[in-house]
């Protein structure tokens, strides 16, 4: 028997597979398709203080090995998430979840984290300073060590839950930003969010997406994600959650060898709603074929 368990800041997961924020809603939609309690956990939809409709349509552009999205943090706001979405989620998912929090000011991050701190079903908070799809928010806090550390320090003051800072790859030096977050009190780092991309319609000669640019995700970005996870894991002592183009059990193991303790699956859920279930089912067999008895033992094994 192989052991697929991993531990994130005291939170033990049955396996390292976590659907990424924005690709799994609040879980109950996928619970109609399969028992989502087989997941290690999941990161629910990015949440802001106020309700957001998101960006204008069209928001999606297809790519040969992925997709570009510019949804723009559409969500009902923190109060509605707590009062309406989480009770529905608890009915179908009985493990701790990851709360993904976004904001347009430090004060907004702090307010949302203080409110979600009180929810017992939330095992850890993923603070998103890396969204490329909104103007003057999200990624603007994640492009420098100083601003990312500021958000981390202020959020740290209002919650005792583990804080994982989600970083953008659209920076010159992601390692220095990760290190600054760790020094400011982060319990872990999540990376990478989407790369900034664009498509142009050849007939109209205009950008496909109304917002012109958006977040590029899918299997094409996997090598970039592996490289950045490897670099950050080498530089910090806190756990890393790796993501970016993961679509198979072998990808999960490769990401963990790069240094990830757990692995998020994003765009693959939008192509195949059973993606995470399939990866979890395949994982023990792939481990056995590679002579891996425990996933905990291979974390950072490529270093």
Residues 241-281 have pLDDT tens digits of 999 999 999 999 999 999 999 999 999 999 999 999 999 99
Residue 132 has pLDDT above 80, yes or no: no
Report pLDDT for 142. 85
Domains delineated in the chain: 6-298 (3.20.20.70)
| Cα(193)–Cα(54) distance, integer angstroms | 18
Q: Is the dihedral of CA 82, 50, 141, 54 positive or negative?
A: positive
Distance CA 171, CA 102 (A): 18
pTM, two decimal places: 0.96
The whole-number average pLDDT for the span 217-229 is 98
Q: What is the pLDDT of residue 141?
A: 84
CA distance 99 to 102: 10
CA torsion 73-242-230-162 (nearest 10°) is: 90
Of the chain, the percentage scoring pLDDT greater than 70 comes to 97
- β-strand pairing of 97-101 with 240-243: unpaired
CA distance 224 to 221: 5
Tokens of 282: 């395949």
The mean of the pLDDT values for the chain is 95
Percent with pLDDT over 90 in the chain? 95
Question: Does 201 have pLDDT greater than 90?
Answer: yes
Residues with active-site annotation: 131
Tokens of 301: 């094994």
Residues 185-192: what's their mean pLDDT?
98
Q: Would the pLDDT of 131 be above 70?
A: no
- Residues 6+ positions from 182 with CB-CB distance below 8 Å: 189, 236, 237, 238
Could you tell me whether strands 163-166 and 188-191 are parallel, antiparallel, or unpaired per DSSP bridges?
Answer: parallel
pLDDT at 162 over 80: yes
pLDDT for res 147: 92
Mean pLDDT of the region 280-296: 98
């Amino acid at each position: 028997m192989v052991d697929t368990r991993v531990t994130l800041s005291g939170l033990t997961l049955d396996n390292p597979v976590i659907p990424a924020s924005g690709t799994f809603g609040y879980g109950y939609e996928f619970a109609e398709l399969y028992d989502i309690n087989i997941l290690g956990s999941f990161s629910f939809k990015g949440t802001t203080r106020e309700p957001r409709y998101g960006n204008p349509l069209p928001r999606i552009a297809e790519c040969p090995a992925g997709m570009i999205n510019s949804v723009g943090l559409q969500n009902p706001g923190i109060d509605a998430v707590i009062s309406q979405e989480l009770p529905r989620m608890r009915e179908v998912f009985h493990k701790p979840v990851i709360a993904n929090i976004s904001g347009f000011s430090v004060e907004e991050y702090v307010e949302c984290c203080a409110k979600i701190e009180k929810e017992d079903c939330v095992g850890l908070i993923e603070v998103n300073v890396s969204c490329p799809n909104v103007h003057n928010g999200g990624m603007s806090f994640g492009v420098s060590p100083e601003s990312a550390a500021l958000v981390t320090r202020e959020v740290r003051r209002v919650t005792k839950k583990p804080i994982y800072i989600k970083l953008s790859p659209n920076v010159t030096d992601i390692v220095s930003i990760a290190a600054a977050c760790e020094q400011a009190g982060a319990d872990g780092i999540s990376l990478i969010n989407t790369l900034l991309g664009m498509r142009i319609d050849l007939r109209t000669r205009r950008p496909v997406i109304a917002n012109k640019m958006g977040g590029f995700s899918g299997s094409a970005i996997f090598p970039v994600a592996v490289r950045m996870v490897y670099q950050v894991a080498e530089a910090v002592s806190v756990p890393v959650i790796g993501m970016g183009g993961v679509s198979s059990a072998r990808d999960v193991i490769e990401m963990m060898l790069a240094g990830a303790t757990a692995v998020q699956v994003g765009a693959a859920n939008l192509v195949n709603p059973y993606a995470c279930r399939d990866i979890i089912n395949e994982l023990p067999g792939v481990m056995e074929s590679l002579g891996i008895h425990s996933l905990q033992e291979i974390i950072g094994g490529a270093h």
